[in-house]
Amino acid sequence: MFSEMNLRNGLNQNEFHLYYQPQVNGLLGELVGFEALIRWQHPERGLIFPGDFIELAESTGLIIPLGEWVIKEAFTQLKRWELIFESHLTISINLSPRHFLHPDLPSYLIKCAQETGVDTEKLVLEITENVALEDFQAVKKRMNELNCLGFEISIDDFGTGYSAFIYLQHFSVQQIKIDQQFISGINEDPKSEAIVRTIIELGNRLGLQLIAEGVETKLQSERLKELGCLDMQGYYFGRPIPVDEINKQLSSVL
């Protein structure tokens, strides 16, 4: 669908944008932060979703400059929100396994933090369980390195990939995101409910932050609260939208 050159041009022409989806604390109804989700505003083909270009970016290595653009943009946005709203919001970004293990990642992150003057604690790094397919020692070392620099690590799509538990046993992570596939059936399907309940208990016992993804209804959010998962993200609270629209909403709530 797209070629390496298309992607390279898109990067050079600044055609990528971050959309932001709110993350809220369901108990207080309070905004805690956003997940940044990349979009490609193609001049001829319109709005392109990551499903149509992330794989190509990974296979060509362009995921590194693209991921660096995401990091820089997220830090810049955190700085803007700090200046405008004096906010304590966080931004979570998605990192591909390849970028997560790239030698330049820690120094690039630190460079952006220093240039913007934003605390490293404000940027949450989401990776999937599939990172565990890579070199175990390298992953462990990288997680410790990033933690030492103040970054929090979040396991995205928790429960759907490889080696869910080995992560938690050996690696230093701070947050798990309960995958939306388990959330969607939480009120009707006893198996989904049992899985979510168990993930929450596991997270609590290990002292991890929990966040539920793909929360689409009030009923789901209420069930999650009863089960003890207070942080949530999903269409019920808001879709991923461009930063201008986020700013309009922030002006009215902050």
**Which residues here bind ligand G, judged by CB under 6 A?**
21, 37-38, 49-51, 54, 70, 93-94, 96, 156-157, 180, 213-216, 234-235, 240
Closest to ligand G by CB, 93 vs 200, is: 93
Q: Which helix (H) or strand (E) holds 6?
A: helix 4-12
Report d(CA 26, CA 222) in Å as an integer.
8
Q: Which residues contact 48 (CB under 8 A, 6 or more apart)?
A: 2, 39, 40, 41, 42
Question: Could you say which of Na ion, ligand G, Mn ion, none residue 51 binds, taking C-beta under 5 to 8 angstroms by partner kind?
Answer: ligand G
Amino acid at 198: T
- Helix or strand holding residue 12 (H, E): helix 4-12
- HSE of 62, CA atoms in CB hemisphere, 13 A: 17
Q: For Na ion, which is the closer residue by CB, 87 or 192?
A: 192
Residue 73 or residue 213: which is nearer to Na ion going by CB? 213
Stretch that binds Mn ion, among 24-32, 73-81, 88-96, 245-253 (CB under 5 A): 88-96
Work out how close the CB of 125 gets to ligand G at its nearest, in angstroms, rounded to a whole number. 11
Shortest Å, Cβ 244 to Na ion: 25
235 binds, among Mn ion, ligand G, Na ion, none (CB under 5 to 8 A by kind): ligand G
Residue ranges binding Na ion (CB under 5 A) = 156-157, 213
Our CB check for ligand G shows the closer of 196 and 215 to be 215
CA distances to 55, 81, 109, 136 from 254, in Å: 37, 11, 28, 43
Q: How far is the CB of 213 from ligand G (least distance, A)?
A: 5
Nearer to ligand G, 58 or 170 (CB): 58
Which tokens belong to 170?
């050996």
The binder of Mn ion chosen from 73, 129, 152, 156 (CB under 5 A):
156
Q: Taking a C-beta distance cutoff of 8 angstroms, is the pair 155, 177 a contact? A: yes
Q: In terms of DSSP bridges, do strands 30-42 and 16-25 run parallel, antiparallel, or are they unpaired?
A: antiparallel
CB of 96 to ligand G, least distance (A): 4
One-letter amino acid of 232: M
Which of helix, strand or coil describes residue 47?
strand
240 binds, among Mn ion, Na ion, ligand G, none (CB under 5 to 8 A by kind): ligand G
**68, 73, 126, 179: residue in contact with Mn ion (rule CB under 5 A):** 126
For residue 35, give both structure tokens: 């997940």
* Residues of this chain that bind Mn ion (CB under 5 A): 94, 126, 156
